[in-house]
Amino acid sequence: MIKYSVDVLEVFLLFGIFSYLHTYLASTRFKILLVKKFGNLIAFYRLVYVFFSLISFGLIYNVAPRTDLMIYDLRYPFDFLILIPQFLGLTGLLWTFKYFSSKEFLGINQVIRWYRNEYEIDDVDEMITLRIEGTYKYSRHPVYFFSMVFLVFRPEMDLIYLSFLVCIIAYFYIGSFYEEKKLLDKFGKLYIDYQNQVPRIVPIYLFKNILFKNKKN
C-alpha cells in the first residue's frame, strides 16, 4: 500500500507542476509581459503554447509511475455498454466544436492575421468571444463536461489512470474560474446574466428538464 500511495502522490506532484506552468503561461499577466517585449509577435504565442502543453503533458504522463493495481476491469457485456456514454461524450465534443473556431483555439488564425497585417495587438493571443448557442446553452464549459464524460467511462481503470483523472477533473473545475474571469472583464453584465442562466460545467438544468418530462409522460 505504501508503494501505491507514493505512486499517487508522484502523479499529483507531476500534474501539479504541469498545472502551474500551464496556468501561469496562459495568464493575462504573462501575456502582457510578452506583448511589451515582442509586440505583435504575440500572434505566434497561442500556437507555441498549444504545442508546449501537448508535449509537457505527454512528458509527465510518460515519466509517471506505472502500476498493476486495477480498480476495475469490466467483462462482457458491461465493457461494451460503458462505451455508449463514452461515445456520447465524443459526440458532444464534436457538437461543441461546431460553435467555436478550432483554428483560433490552436493559434492558426492568429498567425494568418499577423501574416496579412490584420493582427490586433489588443487581442493579445486570441479573440475572446461569448458563445451562448448549441451546447453552450446547457453548460458554460461544454468542452470540459464532454471531455470528463469521455475520460470517466471506460472498460478498465487502474490506479494511475484514476489519479490522472482526478487531477484533470480538478484542473477543469479550477481552470474554469480563470477563464470566466477573462470573460467577465470583457463582457461584464452580459456574462453575469449568462452565468445566472447556465450551470458552470454539468448541464443539470438539461437533466432536470429530461427527468421532469419523463415524469409527466
Predicted local distance difference test score (pLDDT) of residue 189:
93
Report the alpha-carbon distance of residue 19 to residue 56 in Å, rounded. 10
Average pLDDT, the chain: 89
Instruction: Quote the cell numbers at residue 33.
Output: 509581459
Domain range spanning residue 183?
A: 2-216
For residue 72, the surrounding DSSP H or E stretch is: strand 70-73
* Cα torsion 84, 86, 91, 96: sign: positive
Q: How many domains does the chain have?
A: 1
Q: Is the pLDDT of residue 217 over 60?
A: no
pTM comes to 0.88
Predicted local distance difference test score (pLDDT) of residue 118:
84
Where helices occur in 43-158 by DSSP H, the ranges are 45-63, 78-81, 83-97, 102-106, 108-115, 142-152
Q: Are 18 and 60 in contact (CB under 8 A)?
A: yes
Q: Which residue has the higher pLDDT, 161 or 123?
A: 161
Candidates 142, 137, 111, 117; CA nearest to 49 is 111
Q: Is the pLDDT of residue 36 over 60?
A: yes
Quick one: 15 exposed, middle or buried, by C-beta within 10 A (0-12, 13-18, 19+)? buried
What mean pLDDT do residues 37-64 have? 92
Predicted local distance difference test score (pLDDT) of residue 105:
86
Report the alpha-carbon distance of residue 9 to residue 120 in Å, rounded. 44
pLDDT digits (tens, 9 = 90+) for 104-160: 888 898 899 899 988 888 777 777 888 889 999 999 999 999 999 999 999 999 999
Predicted local distance difference test score (pLDDT) of residue 78:
92
Q: What is the DSSP letter of 98?
A: T
Predicted local distance difference test score (pLDDT) of residue 182:
87
